[in-house]
């Protein structure tokens, strides 16, 4: 899915247009994968209700099925958070949106600052080559 998006593999600092293009394509990929993730996650949650009812009503099942299912349910419920973080980091990297200096993600708030100023909000390195923003004299 990510391969269908195109951006140049230009080295940092890139042009402002390139940065915005990468950001837009990353956001597009993000919203696509969010839809898939939400369908799977809520599908799992809603399917859980009839499945638990079936476990409760079925007396022939071994006694360990109920706690085993509860354990699996909790793993999926809690495990989706680190999975989401992992997928986000992978996606941002695949769009070349990690700072060349500190390797942190140029994403969300850091992206807004990079677009507004042309600099990395984490380490201050110049990210955009053709930005018109001039930092105040004291910060140079
Ligand atoms: Zn940085």
- How close is the Cα of 34 to the center of ligand 1, in Å? 27
- How close is the Cα of 41 to the center of ligand 1, in Å? 34
For residue 104, give every residue at least 6 positions away whose Cβ sits within 8 Å of its Cβ, in sequence order, or none: 98, 110, 120, 122, 123
pLDDT in tens, 80-123: 999 999 999 999 999 999 999 999 999 999 999 999 999 999 99
Question: What does the alpha-carbon distance between residue 98 and residue 115 come to, in Å, rounded to a whole number?
Answer: 14
Q: How many CB atoms lie within 10 A of CB 101?
A: 14
**Cβ atoms 4, 94 nearer than 8 A:** no
- How close is the Cα of 130 to the center of ligand 1, in Å? 18
CA 127, 131, 135, 140 dihedral sign is positive
Phi and psi torsions of 36, nearest 5°: -60, -45
What size, in residues, is the chain?
140
Categorize the per-residue pLDDT at 7 as very low, low, confident or very high, splitting at 50, 70 and 90.
Answer: low
- How close is the Cα of 74 to the center of ligand 1, in Å? 36
Q: How many CB atoms lie within 10 A of CB 114?
A: 25
- Print the domain residue range for 106: 2-139
- How close is the Cα of 111 to the center of ligand 1, in Å? 11
The number of domains in the chain is 1
pLDDT in tens, 55-72: 999 989 999 999 999 999
pTM: 0.80
Categorize the per-residue pLDDT at 1 as very low, low, confident or very high, splitting at 50, 70 and 90.
Answer: very low
């Amino acid at each position: 899915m990510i391969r269908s998006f195109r951006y140049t593999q230009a080295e940092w600092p890139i042009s402002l247009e390139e940065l915005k293009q990468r950001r837009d394509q990353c956001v597009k990929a993000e919203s696509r994968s969010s839809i898939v993730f939400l369908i799977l996650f809520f599908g799992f949650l809603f399917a859980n209700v009839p499945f638990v009812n079936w476990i409760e009503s079925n007396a022939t099942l071994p006694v360990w099925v109920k706690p085993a299912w509860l354990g699996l349910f909790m793993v999926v419920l809690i495990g989706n958070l680190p999975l989401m973080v992992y997928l986000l980091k992978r996606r941002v990297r695949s769009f070349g949106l990690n700072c060349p200096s500190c390797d942190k993600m140029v994403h969300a708030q850091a992206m807004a600052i990079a677009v507004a100023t042309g600099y990395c909000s984490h380490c201050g390195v110049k990210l955009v080559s053709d930005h018109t923003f001039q930092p105040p004299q004291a910060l140079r």
